[in-house]
Amino acid sequence: MSLFRLLRLPNLLIVALVQSLLYFRLLLPAFEQQGISPRLNTLEFLLLVLATLCTTAGGYIINDLYDYEMDLLNRKAKVIVNVKISDQLCMWIYALLFFLGFLLSLYLAFRIGQVYMMGLYMLSFVLLFLYTKTLKKRPLVGNMLVALFCAGVAGLVWLAELPAWWALQDMAPQTAQSLQSIINWYCAFAFLSTMFREIVKDLEDKIGDAAAGCRTFPIAAGDRSAKYLAMAIALFTMVLMGVLYLNQVPGFSDWFYLGALLGVVAPLVYAIYLLQSAQTPTDYHRISNLAKIVMLAGVLLLLI
Protein backbone atom coordinates (compact mmCIF):
# COMPACT_ATOMS: atom_id res chain seq x y z
CA MET A 1 0.00 0.00 0.00
CA SER A 2 2.82 2.43 0.85
CA LEU A 3 4.49 1.66 -2.47
CA PHE A 4 1.25 2.39 -4.35
CA ARG A 5 0.97 5.72 -2.52
CA LEU A 6 4.61 6.53 -3.33
CA LEU A 7 4.01 5.82 -7.02
CA ARG A 8 0.61 7.64 -7.03
CA LEU A 9 -1.16 4.59 -8.47
CA PRO A 10 -4.47 6.40 -9.25
CA ASN A 11 -2.56 9.04 -11.23
CA LEU A 12 -0.67 6.36 -13.14
CA LEU A 13 -3.93 4.62 -14.00
CA ILE A 14 -5.30 7.89 -15.39
CA VAL A 15 -2.17 8.36 -17.53
CA ALA A 16 -2.58 4.84 -18.90
CA LEU A 17 -6.29 5.43 -19.49
CA VAL A 18 -5.69 8.65 -21.44
CA GLN A 19 -3.17 7.07 -23.78
CA SER A 20 -5.28 3.92 -24.20
CA LEU A 21 -8.43 5.88 -25.06
CA LEU A 22 -6.60 7.99 -27.62
CA TYR A 23 -5.06 4.92 -29.23
CA PHE A 24 -7.79 2.29 -29.08
CA ARG A 25 -10.88 4.50 -29.27
CA LEU A 26 -9.75 7.27 -31.64
CA LEU A 27 -6.65 6.54 -33.69
CA LEU A 28 -6.73 2.77 -34.24
CA PRO A 29 -10.38 2.57 -35.48
CA ALA A 30 -9.69 5.43 -37.93
CA PHE A 31 -6.56 3.71 -39.24
CA GLU A 32 -8.32 0.35 -39.59
CA GLN A 33 -11.28 1.91 -41.41
CA GLN A 34 -8.93 3.26 -44.09
CA GLY A 35 -6.74 0.15 -44.21
CA ILE A 36 -3.75 1.98 -42.71
CA SER A 37 -1.25 -0.03 -40.69
CA PRO A 38 -0.43 1.68 -37.37
CA ARG A 39 3.24 2.16 -36.57
CA LEU A 40 2.74 0.52 -33.15
CA ASN A 41 1.22 -2.91 -32.67
CA THR A 42 -0.69 -3.62 -29.46
CA LEU A 43 2.36 -4.90 -27.56
CA GLU A 44 4.49 -1.95 -28.64
CA PHE A 45 1.77 0.48 -27.62
CA LEU A 46 1.62 -1.14 -24.17
CA LEU A 47 5.41 -0.76 -23.93
CA LEU A 48 5.01 2.93 -24.80
CA VAL A 49 2.47 3.30 -22.00
CA LEU A 50 4.81 1.48 -19.60
CA ALA A 51 7.69 3.79 -20.53
CA THR A 52 5.42 6.79 -19.87
CA LEU A 53 4.43 5.35 -16.50
CA CYS A 54 8.09 4.80 -15.58
CA THR A 55 8.81 8.47 -16.32
CA THR A 56 5.77 9.66 -14.40
CA ALA A 57 6.36 7.45 -11.36
CA GLY A 58 10.05 8.37 -11.32
CA GLY A 59 9.07 12.04 -11.24
CA TYR A 60 6.81 11.43 -8.25
CA ILE A 61 9.54 9.61 -6.33
CA ILE A 62 12.32 12.13 -6.91
CA ASN A 63 9.89 14.92 -6.02
CA ASP A 64 9.03 13.22 -2.71
CA LEU A 65 12.71 12.70 -1.92
CA TYR A 66 13.55 16.39 -2.39
CA ASP A 67 10.32 17.66 -0.83
CA TYR A 68 10.58 15.61 2.36
CA GLU A 69 10.99 18.60 4.69
CA MET A 70 8.30 20.67 2.94
CA ASP A 71 5.87 17.75 3.01
CA LEU A 72 6.36 17.37 6.75
CA LEU A 73 4.93 20.88 7.10
CA ASN A 74 2.31 20.74 4.35
CA ARG A 75 0.94 17.18 4.63
CA LYS A 76 2.71 15.28 7.39
CA ALA A 77 0.13 12.48 7.53
CA LYS A 78 0.76 11.61 3.87
CA VAL A 79 4.58 11.49 3.95
CA ILE A 80 5.96 8.15 2.72
CA VAL A 81 9.70 8.80 2.36
CA ASN A 82 11.64 8.03 5.56
CA VAL A 83 8.36 7.12 7.26
CA LYS A 84 6.99 4.10 5.40
CA ILE A 85 9.82 3.56 2.90
CA SER A 86 13.47 4.50 3.47
CA ASP A 87 15.02 7.17 1.26
CA GLN A 88 17.64 4.65 0.11
CA LEU A 89 14.99 2.22 -1.11
CA CYS A 90 13.18 5.10 -2.81
CA MET A 91 16.38 5.92 -4.70
CA TRP A 92 16.73 2.29 -5.80
CA ILE A 93 13.13 2.26 -7.05
CA TYR A 94 13.76 5.52 -8.88
CA ALA A 95 16.92 4.11 -10.52
CA LEU A 96 15.05 0.95 -11.53
CA LEU A 97 12.25 2.97 -13.13
CA PHE A 98 14.76 5.14 -14.98
CA PHE A 99 16.66 2.12 -16.31
CA LEU A 100 13.48 0.26 -17.32
CA GLY A 101 12.03 3.32 -19.02
CA PHE A 102 15.29 3.91 -20.88
CA LEU A 103 15.39 0.34 -22.18
CA LEU A 104 11.77 0.51 -23.30
CA SER A 105 12.24 3.85 -25.06
CA LEU A 106 15.45 2.58 -26.71
CA TYR A 107 13.68 -0.52 -28.02
CA LEU A 108 10.67 1.42 -29.29
CA ALA A 109 12.77 4.14 -30.90
CA PHE A 110 14.60 1.67 -33.11
CA ARG A 111 11.66 -0.68 -33.53
CA ILE A 112 9.38 1.96 -35.06
CA GLY A 113 12.21 3.92 -36.69
CA GLN A 114 11.72 7.12 -34.70
CA VAL A 115 14.92 7.61 -32.72
CA TYR A 116 13.79 10.99 -31.39
CA MET A 117 11.37 9.11 -29.12
CA MET A 118 14.35 8.02 -27.01
CA GLY A 119 15.53 11.62 -26.87
CA LEU A 120 12.11 12.71 -25.62
CA TYR A 121 12.30 10.12 -22.85
CA MET A 122 15.73 11.29 -21.71
CA LEU A 123 14.64 14.92 -21.90
CA SER A 124 11.60 14.12 -19.78
CA PHE A 125 13.67 12.60 -16.98
CA VAL A 126 16.14 15.50 -17.05
CA LEU A 127 13.38 18.12 -16.94
CA LEU A 128 11.57 16.32 -14.12
CA PHE A 129 14.79 16.25 -12.12
CA LEU A 130 15.37 19.97 -12.78
CA TYR A 131 11.76 20.65 -11.85
CA THR A 132 12.22 18.98 -8.47
CA LYS A 133 15.63 20.51 -7.87
CA THR A 134 15.00 24.14 -8.86
CA LEU A 135 12.17 24.93 -11.28
CA LYS A 136 9.28 24.21 -8.90
CA LYS A 137 10.69 26.80 -6.50
CA ARG A 138 10.27 29.58 -9.06
CA PRO A 139 7.04 31.42 -9.88
CA LEU A 140 5.00 29.63 -12.58
CA VAL A 141 8.00 27.96 -14.31
CA GLY A 142 7.53 24.63 -12.56
CA ASN A 143 3.74 24.86 -12.85
CA MET A 144 3.95 25.32 -16.61
CA LEU A 145 6.38 22.42 -16.98
CA VAL A 146 4.04 20.05 -15.13
CA ALA A 147 1.11 21.25 -17.26
CA LEU A 148 3.13 20.66 -20.44
CA PHE A 149 3.95 17.13 -19.30
CA CYS A 150 0.27 16.40 -18.73
CA ALA A 151 -0.55 17.67 -22.22
CA GLY A 152 2.37 15.66 -23.58
CA VAL A 153 0.89 12.40 -22.28
CA ALA A 154 -1.67 12.68 -25.07
CA GLY A 155 0.70 14.20 -27.59
CA LEU A 156 3.16 11.32 -27.23
CA VAL A 157 0.69 8.81 -28.69
CA TRP A 158 0.06 11.11 -31.66
CA LEU A 159 3.82 11.56 -32.21
CA ALA A 160 4.44 7.82 -32.18
CA GLU A 161 1.80 7.37 -34.90
CA LEU A 162 2.83 10.30 -37.12
CA PRO A 163 3.50 8.20 -40.27
CA ALA A 164 0.05 6.58 -40.04
CA TRP A 165 -1.47 9.96 -39.23
CA TRP A 166 -0.05 11.53 -42.39
CA ALA A 167 -1.48 8.63 -44.39
CA LEU A 168 -4.89 9.23 -42.76
CA GLN A 169 -4.77 12.90 -43.70
CA ASP A 170 -4.21 11.97 -47.34
CA MET A 171 -6.89 9.27 -47.48
CA ALA A 172 -9.59 10.71 -45.18
CA PRO A 173 -8.97 14.40 -44.48
CA GLN A 174 -12.35 14.97 -42.79
CA THR A 175 -11.78 12.09 -40.36
CA ALA A 176 -8.27 13.37 -39.65
CA GLN A 177 -9.65 16.88 -39.03
CA SER A 178 -12.20 15.58 -36.52
CA LEU A 179 -9.58 13.54 -34.66
CA GLN A 180 -7.15 16.46 -34.72
CA SER A 181 -9.81 18.66 -33.10
CA ILE A 182 -10.28 16.15 -30.28
CA ILE A 183 -6.55 15.70 -29.69
CA ASN A 184 -5.93 19.46 -29.78
CA TRP A 185 -8.81 20.02 -27.36
CA TYR A 186 -7.57 17.42 -24.91
CA CYS A 187 -3.98 18.72 -24.94
CA ALA A 188 -5.24 22.27 -24.30
CA PHE A 189 -7.63 21.05 -21.62
CA ALA A 190 -4.93 18.97 -19.90
CA PHE A 191 -2.60 21.99 -19.85
CA LEU A 192 -5.20 24.43 -18.49
CA SER A 193 -6.75 22.11 -15.90
CA THR A 194 -3.30 21.13 -14.62
CA MET A 195 -2.23 24.77 -14.40
CA PHE A 196 -5.37 25.55 -12.41
CA ARG A 197 -4.68 22.76 -9.93
CA GLU A 198 -0.98 23.65 -9.71
CA ILE A 199 -1.78 27.24 -8.66
CA VAL A 200 -4.33 26.02 -6.11
CA LYS A 201 -1.81 23.49 -4.74
CA ASP A 202 0.77 26.26 -4.36
CA LEU A 203 -1.77 28.23 -2.35
CA GLU A 204 -2.46 25.16 -0.22
CA ASP A 205 1.25 24.47 0.37
CA LYS A 206 2.34 28.08 0.86
CA ILE A 207 3.45 27.67 4.49
CA GLY A 208 5.78 24.74 3.89
CA ASP A 209 7.05 26.16 0.59
CA ALA A 210 7.93 29.49 2.21
CA ALA A 211 9.74 27.75 5.06
CA ALA A 212 11.86 25.86 2.49
CA GLY A 213 12.80 29.06 0.68
CA CYS A 214 10.60 28.51 -2.39
CA ARG A 215 9.33 31.41 -4.46
CA THR A 216 6.13 29.97 -5.86
CA PHE A 217 3.62 32.37 -7.39
CA PRO A 218 1.49 32.84 -4.24
CA ILE A 219 4.67 33.61 -2.24
CA ALA A 220 6.11 35.96 -4.86
CA ALA A 221 2.90 37.75 -5.89
CA GLY A 222 0.57 37.18 -2.95
CA ASP A 223 -2.55 35.13 -2.39
CA ARG A 224 -4.87 37.59 -4.14
CA SER A 225 -2.87 37.56 -7.38
CA ALA A 226 -2.65 33.76 -7.26
CA LYS A 227 -6.41 33.50 -6.78
CA TYR A 228 -7.04 35.83 -9.71
CA LEU A 229 -4.70 33.79 -11.89
CA ALA A 230 -6.44 30.54 -10.96
CA MET A 231 -9.84 32.11 -11.66
CA ALA A 232 -8.62 33.43 -15.02
CA ILE A 233 -7.40 29.96 -16.02
CA ALA A 234 -10.73 28.43 -15.00
CA LEU A 235 -12.66 31.06 -16.95
CA PHE A 236 -10.46 30.56 -20.01
CA THR A 237 -11.13 26.81 -19.84
CA MET A 238 -14.85 27.46 -19.80
CA VAL A 239 -14.52 29.91 -22.70
CA LEU A 240 -12.72 27.19 -24.64
CA MET A 241 -15.72 24.91 -24.13
CA GLY A 242 -18.04 27.68 -25.27
CA VAL A 243 -16.02 28.34 -28.43
CA LEU A 244 -16.15 24.64 -29.33
CA TYR A 245 -19.93 24.62 -28.90
CA LEU A 246 -20.65 27.87 -30.75
CA ASN A 247 -18.45 26.91 -33.70
CA GLN A 248 -19.69 23.30 -33.77
CA VAL A 249 -16.12 22.04 -34.21
CA PRO A 250 -16.06 18.65 -36.01
CA GLY A 251 -15.53 15.64 -33.76
CA PHE A 252 -17.67 16.71 -30.79
CA SER A 253 -21.17 15.38 -30.15
CA ASP A 254 -24.04 16.85 -28.11
CA TRP A 255 -23.29 14.27 -25.42
CA PHE A 256 -19.75 15.63 -25.22
CA TYR A 257 -21.04 19.14 -24.54
CA LEU A 258 -23.49 17.87 -21.92
CA GLY A 259 -20.69 15.95 -20.21
CA ALA A 260 -18.43 19.01 -20.37
CA LEU A 261 -21.15 21.17 -18.82
CA LEU A 262 -21.69 18.79 -15.90
CA GLY A 263 -18.15 17.51 -15.38
CA VAL A 264 -16.01 20.52 -16.27
CA VAL A 265 -17.92 23.81 -16.33
CA ALA A 266 -20.10 23.27 -13.24
CA PRO A 267 -17.19 22.23 -10.95
CA LEU A 268 -15.08 25.13 -12.24
CA VAL A 269 -17.86 27.62 -11.50
CA TYR A 270 -18.09 26.23 -7.97
CA ALA A 271 -14.30 26.33 -7.61
CA ILE A 272 -14.26 30.01 -8.59
CA TYR A 273 -16.95 30.68 -6.01
CA LEU A 274 -14.93 28.92 -3.29
CA LEU A 275 -11.70 30.66 -4.28
CA GLN A 276 -13.15 34.08 -3.50
CA SER A 277 -13.36 33.33 0.23
CA ALA A 278 -10.65 30.64 0.57
CA GLN A 279 -8.06 31.38 3.28
CA THR A 280 -6.80 28.17 4.87
CA PRO A 281 -5.01 25.08 3.47
CA THR A 282 -8.23 23.15 4.10
CA ASP A 283 -10.14 25.59 1.88
CA TYR A 284 -7.61 25.22 -0.91
CA HIS A 285 -7.52 21.44 -0.51
CA ARG A 286 -11.26 21.33 -1.18
CA ILE A 287 -10.76 23.34 -4.36
CA SER A 288 -7.86 21.09 -5.36
CA ASN A 289 -10.19 18.09 -5.09
CA LEU A 290 -12.63 19.87 -7.39
CA ALA A 291 -9.77 20.33 -9.85
CA LYS A 292 -9.16 16.56 -9.74
CA ILE A 293 -12.82 15.97 -10.60
CA VAL A 294 -12.50 18.33 -13.56
CA MET A 295 -9.37 16.55 -14.79
CA LEU A 296 -10.98 13.13 -14.47
CA ALA A 297 -14.10 14.37 -16.27
CA GLY A 298 -11.91 15.56 -19.12
CA VAL A 299 -10.45 12.08 -19.46
CA LEU A 300 -13.89 10.44 -19.41
CA LEU A 301 -15.08 12.84 -22.13
CA LEU A 302 -12.75 10.96 -24.48
CA LEU A 303 -15.23 8.08 -24.17
CA ILE A 304 -18.07 10.13 -25.66
> What is the per-residue pLDDT across 106-118, written as a single tens digit (0 to 9) for each?
888 888 777 777 7
Under CATH, which number does the domain 1-159 receive? 1.10.357
Task: Give the rounded percent of residues in the chain with a pLDDT score beyond 90.
Answer: 50
Tell me the C-alpha to C-alpha distance, in Å, between residue 71 and each of 10, 47, 67, 129: 20, 33, 6, 18
> Which runs of consecutive H residues, i.e. helices, occur in the chain?
2-7, 9-20, 28-33, 42-66, 68-74, 87-111, 116-133, 141-160, 162-171, 173-204, 206-211, 217-221, 223-247, 254-260, 266-277, 281-300
Packing angle, helices 141-160 and 162-171, rounded to 10: 60
The predicted structure's pLDDT at residue 290 = 94
Q: State the span(s) of the chain assigned CATH 1.10.357.
A: 1-159
Mean pLDDT (whole number) for 254-282 = 93
Q: Using the predicted structure, report yes or no on whether residue 137 has a pLDDT greater than 90.
A: no
Q: Using the predicted structure, report yes or no on whether residue 129 has a pLDDT greater than 90.
A: no
The predicted structure's pLDDT at residue 16 = 94
- Fold topology of 172-304: Four Helix Bundle (Hemerythrin (Met), subunit A) (1.20.120)
The predicted structure's pLDDT at residue 114 = 75
Q: State the span(s) of the chain assigned CATH 1.20.120.
A: 172-304
Residue 261 and residue 242 in contact, taking contact as beta carbons nearer than 8 Å: no
Q: Using the predicted structure, report yes or no on whether residue 303 has a pLDDT greater than 90.
A: no
